[in-house]
Amino acid sequence: MRQHVAAVAGQMTERLPEVTLPMRDLLAERISELDGEPVLLELLLASIEGNVVTILRTLLHDISADHYEAPTAAVEYSRRLAQRGVPVNALVRAYRLGQQFFLRVAYRVSLGMPVDDQVRADAYDRIVHHIFDYIDWISQRIVVVYEEEREAWLANQSNARGATVQLLLDGTAGDIGVAERVLGYRLRGNHVAIVAWMYESGVQSDQLSRTTRMIRAFAADVGAGTPLITGRDQATVWAWISVPRDWRFEHLKDWRWSETPSPIIALGSCHSGPDGFRRSHEEAVQVHRIVSLGGVPDRSLVSFDEPGLAATALLSQNLDAARSWVRTVLGDLARDDDTSARHRDTLRTFLRHDMNYTATAEAMVMHKNSIKYRLTSAEAVLGHPVSANRLDVELALTACEWLGRSLLT
């Protein structure tokens, strides 16, 4: 039986390319994650050869599992897949499919040799158990290598990306080409920056994962390609998307994500080049601050491009002064109650529709007479016609809309 095992291993060694090349093609075909550029396919072949040669030698010389050594190419291939983010289950599956292919070849080789059927059966049983022991051992080994490399690679990559992003935001990035290669993101185009976060409590990693998925979904829906994403902290994500020059936020106001709970996305305006990368981010940070002060919004996206938000951002730099000024302009309309909120909403909509009763009624889905009644009541609280101080009134109403209770009395 041992002689037959050695004979099978010897013939397979002589016909090594007939074993390894078809195995490589099978794995690349059956496991799409492994089929990539030529360099990866060459390394896959080297890994297969290393494992097959190791198995054949252990069969030839009846080497026990205590003396197994992982092939260098197999270890390196595991590291390379970890660096590229190929799922570890694809790697483990490759070993299982390789085991199946090897056993089929071994059985065909055995059938081609004249030997007693019982000897053949015993020999094949030994080969099966031997291969199982090796695959079990090597799978554990390469999974450990994969996980260690993946963790180290992500840490290094995250540190390098985070440092490069910070240099860009500081305006000290230097060679833009080098920065682009580190980030895997084009800096010479048009950018819209994102600050995304969640209000819901729960597992922090779950929140970050959900927020990242939402950013990727948003980027895909607007045709922005792969976003640049970096974690700000355990609850907040910074990101950038490349957009065309004719980017317009107003077409996206009603965009929502299918999953719940949904993160909030604060957007900067569209700007170009490395300076635009920084400027759009500064605007997104301001939107994040305003939304955080104003409370949970009723939609997923808020943009710096929205009417009055940029002016509100300036007012929010000194909330005490802003609160006092709003109180001076609006009087009791700045009270934090339902009636005042209804008056403010009606006045703000009226002003944004150029003081047109019909357009305001259509926008609020109300009868025009109801709008007139509301406006009369609001102006009575205001103490003067809204047209008497339209600019200040509209700005104060807009600030109340965005900053909410942090600005109201």
The gap from C-alpha 258 to its chain's centroid, in whole angstroms, comes to: 16
Helices (H) and strands (E) in the chain, counts: 15, 6
Contact 193, 280 (CB under 8 A): yes
- Sequence-ordered list of residues with C-beta below 8 angstroms from that of 88, at least 6 positions apart, any chain: 81, 82, 143, 146, 147, 150
The better pLDDT of the pair 330, 299 is held by 330
**Do 7 and 141 have their domain in common?**
yes
**Do 266 and 340 have their domain in common?**
no
Q: Indicate the residue among 135, 154, 173 that finishes a domain.
A: 154
Express each pLDDT in 14-49 by its tens digit: 999 999 999 998 988 888 877 655 667 788 889 999
Range of lowest pLDDT (89-93, 177-181, 253-257, 316-320) = 253-257
Contact 180, 160 (CB under 8 A): no
Q: What is the mean pLDDT of residues 50-76?
A: 87
**Do 242 and 330 have their domain in common?**
no
Q: What is the mean pLDDT of residues 351-378?
A: 89
The gap from C-alpha 148 to its chain's centroid, in whole angstroms, comes to: 22
- Please check the confidence at residue 376 and state whether its pLDDT lies above 80: yes
- Please check the confidence at residue 282 and state whether its pLDDT lies above 90: yes
Query: What DSSP state is assigned to residue 306?
Result: S
Q: Residue 350 sits in a domain of what CATH number?
A: 1.10.10.2840
Q: What is the mean pLDDT of residues 314-342?
A: 91
* Percent of the chain predicted with pLDDT > 70: 95
Nearest by Cα to 268 from 256, 290, 283, 278: 283
pTM over 0.95: no
**Do 389 and 283 have their domain in common?**
no
If you count them, how many residues does the chain have?
409
- Cross-strand pairs, 236: 197
Q: Is residue 58 assigned to a domain?
A: yes
Domain hosting 124: range is 2-154
**Do 150 and 6 have their domain in common?**
yes
**Do 234 and 275 have their domain in common?**
yes
Express each pLDDT in 81-107 by its tens digit: 887 778 888 889 999 999 999 999 999
Contact 327, 340 (CB under 8 A): no
| pLDDT tier, 202 (very low <50, low <70, confident <90, very high otherwise) | very low
**Do 213 and 294 have their domain in common?**
yes
